[in-house]
Amino acid sequence: MPVPTSRLGALAALAVAGGLVLSGCAGTPAPASSDAADAATASSDAFPVTFEHIYGETTIEEAPERVATWGWGATDAVLALGIVPVAIPSSEYGGGDNLITPWVEEALDELGGEEPVLLDNSSFELSVEELLATDPDVLVASYSGLTQEEYDAVTGAGIPVVAPEEALWSTPWRDVISDTGKALGLEAEAEQILTDLDQQIADAATEHPEFEGTSIAFADDDVDTFYLYLPADPRVEILEDLGFVSAESVTALDTGESTFYTTVSSESLDKVDADVLFTQAELQSDLDEFLASDRAQLIPAVQSGAVAPIVGEENVAAISPTALTLPWILPEIVSQLATATAAAQG
């Protein structure tokens, strides 16, 4: 999941994630009914299923009834499929006092049943003991930092694990949804979720033709370091799906230090040449301070007022797309982008 770059040193791997107003989870499709999901999961036709991943191969022999999740996005996918997991990771960022993000909390309230056990995620290290105490039939950890040691411990206890595909924290967000559907015997339902999400993005793009071809840069300021997110980042992918194009200056400034972001020195900020600047901040005061700073005034889009900000810890966390976050945050993203694009074109 994405986090403010003030925490990027510890959490960098986690970033690989007009007129409408954000209003809780109003735009989120209702999760599939529990009865329908249970009926589909109970079908033996879908099993066994096999996954190839960084630690080898996992085969799930029969439909799992007790599903545990780890990492980012898997919890949302399971809930969107109408199933309440027995265990989920705590959300220290964006989860508030109860360490559960609002979109997950709303889905849990809607589905009912026993609330999942929160696995301590504060250090991003899986407590195998905590996990096994929930008696899971499967662990879905497609987009996570699951280590070889953790994987061996869980599989050694007889629990099949859906591990990251090719590298830690790198499985595409769409694959997280489809992999989860496959693991639960709900592939068709997962594909429908993806179709619905793509339609929401396409509808927003159609409603805002001014987005098409407008250049954009997704940036995050950390006082001493300025981060630009690259086209490989899933959040940038959503911006491009809406019709924007990544500014040529973004890739020109890429130093190759990461697959999904690059850093830019203060003296080079005038080179961040994009029609619109998309950015994030935990607090409005942080955003105001940045936009008023001398370094920010070097950026052409800031000078023209073409800035689309996402403010608030929950909203910043939601920018990274999942089955539940995308419909939750998309109205706010579109609203801010529409205002910024009007400034850029006006």
Pairing of strands 87-89, 117-119: parallel
Residue 140: other Cβ atoms inside 10 A: 29
pLDDT tens across 168-227, in order? 998 999 999 999 999 999 999 999 999 999 999 999 999 999 999 999 999 999 877 899
pLDDT on residue 40 = 43
As beta bridge partners, residue 69 has 140
- Cα 97 to chain centroid distance, Å, stands at 20
pLDDT on residue 224 = 78
What single-letter DSSP state applies at residue 39? H
270-302: buried (b, 16+ CB within 10 Å) or exposed (e) per residue? eebbbbbbbbbbbeeebbeebbeeebbebbbbb
Those residues of the chain that have pLDDT short of 70 are 1-44
Reference 75, options 1, 140, 163; nearest CA is 140
As beta bridge partners, residue 221 has 226
Pairing of strands 138-140, 67-69: parallel
pLDDT tens across 305-325, in order? 999 999 999 999 999 999 999
